[in-house]
Amino acid sequence: MVKTIEAAAEDEKIVAIYLKGGNASVGGYATLKEVRDALKTFRKTGKPIYAYDVDWSEPEYYLASVADNLVLDPIGSLTLDGFSAEVRFYAGALEKYGLGVQVVRVGQFKSAVEPYLNTALSPSSRQQTETLLNSLWQSFLLTLGDYRPLKAAQLQAIANQQGTLGSKEALAQKLIDKVSYPDEIEAALKELTGGPDDEPFRQMSLLEYVNIAKEQTQADTENQVAVVYLEGNIVNGEGNFGVAASESIATLLRQVRQNEEVKAVVLRVNSPGGSATAASIMGREVELLAATKPLVVSMGDYAASGGYWVSAPARKIFASPGTITGSIGTYSLLPNVQKIANDHGITWDAVETAPFANSDTIARPKTPAELAINQKSANAIYDRFLEVVSKGRSLPRPQVSQIAEGRVWSGMSAKSLGLVDELGGLEAAIVQAAQFAELPDGDWNVQEYPRQRSFEQALFDEFFSALPPQITQSFNRQKQPLTQLPTPLAQELQGLQSDLGAWRDLDDPQGIYTRLPFNLKIR
């Protein structure tokens, strides 16, 4: 999207961009900022950006606020009510149904285990979440102010006193430029683009323009800056879209390291972490690559825990102010089904040749001695994690220990702590990698690994992979999405599915994980 928008800025046949909202499924604020920055580049050419919606949500408004013709429908509203992070807790349900969970963890802020132990946020978890949200919110307010004639304090007052504004209120507060119907916007675009009176305004969708833009931006050279995408939960083995599988990613990193045409590498990390073993396998390949070629990391919405582990060895790390990173800690979830099984007449007995031979059973809780073994393993991996960060970031070990403990940081905070070098997006990271490799301007191309799906397929997968299975199955039968469920209910069902789905990715052979909280959803 960024490259396509940048190409449109230089294309004399493109005279404007029209952003049409409508409850879009959008990424986190780090991703949105990169697209927003591309729109800012487009606007600097003097070409107008039109943006229209019936109801502007905060993420959509964040993106559209760069427009010089920001429009709200007369019947519409604009939401500016602040960020919240609501966490689901399952401890009560687990107890009700007789499912036991024991945990070991390292780091007082490593809160990924809390939904299965508590019924509310612990003080340390509340503290880190408040710090994170406040940092992200302040960045949000400051960013809005670059094109809206409102300072952060004024925007905060609107959030405190109003939250949701009607079209006339939004116009009076200067949050929008105009109140209009969509046909009035299309009439303005018709005047801008010309063409026969009986036809719509001349237009080309982003999907249609992708291939044209790609042809315009490719240089005639064999020099490559490789962009390797590490997306999703970190798991072991091989995997496809949606997870960062250790063997698949390690193979890609090895290929680009051995490819003589690749002069520099950008590792794009958008992952909350996962298996500690998988992170270690990929991290080793990152270290070997960094010792061979210039390596820069570009952090997306998340690059935390295991996602930070694999980032640490890079020569330089870029993040957005809205990136969620850090979370340097470890944990292990140890479920058992003893109570629910016993309540239904199921019992177990075992014969052992050594005291710990049956320690991997889920038929009973772990003994104190068995928990001590698990804790020792978690401690050892945490110690290795600290070593990776200390070496990769050239930070003293005691300093890393102070900012670790599983604590989550925003990209802005991470930069001040030395976990991140610069604030910037993927494009900035690519340019930096080319400079490290001393490649002349215009004498290199970007090659993506793994080979990217079509833009259409990416959007389709991104949207429908988030829906509950029963809805996607029904969509396949009816060839249309079901929208009968009320939106808040649908979102909650999707959240439940996401939480439960995360258990599928708990495949670490040692049972130790470096991951963000499963269900931290900022909205």
Catalytic residue, chosen from 33, 110, 316, 415, is 110
Report yes or no: 83 and 140 within 8 Å, Cβ to Cβ.
yes
Residues belonging to the chain: 523
CA 327 → CA 273, 297, 385, 475, distances in Å? 9, 17, 11, 37
Catalytic residue, chosen from 135, 246, 248, 305, is 305
Give dist(CA 55, CA 75) in Å, integer.
Answer: 9
Which residues fall within 8 angstroms of residue 6, CB to CB, at 6 or more apart? 38, 41, 42, 213, 217, 427
- Which two three-digit tokens encode residue 90? 């399952």
Region of residue 449 (left: phi > 0; alpha: psi -120 to 50; beta: else): beta
Q: Residue 448: name the closest of 218, 177, 278, 280 by CA.
A: 218
Is 20 tagged catalytic? no
SS3 state of residue 215: helix
Helices (H) and strands (E) in the chain, counts: 20, 21
Q: Residue 18: name the closest of 174, 268, 179, 192 by CA.
A: 192
Is 110 tagged catalytic? yes
Which residues fall within 8 angstroms of residue 40, CB to CB, at 6 or more apart? 66, 146, 147
Give dist(CA 462, CA 343) in Å, integer.
Answer: 42
Report yes or no: 446 and 352 within 8 Å, Cβ to Cβ.
no
A 10 A CB-CB count for 310 gives: 33
What residues are annotated to the active site?
Answer: 110, 305
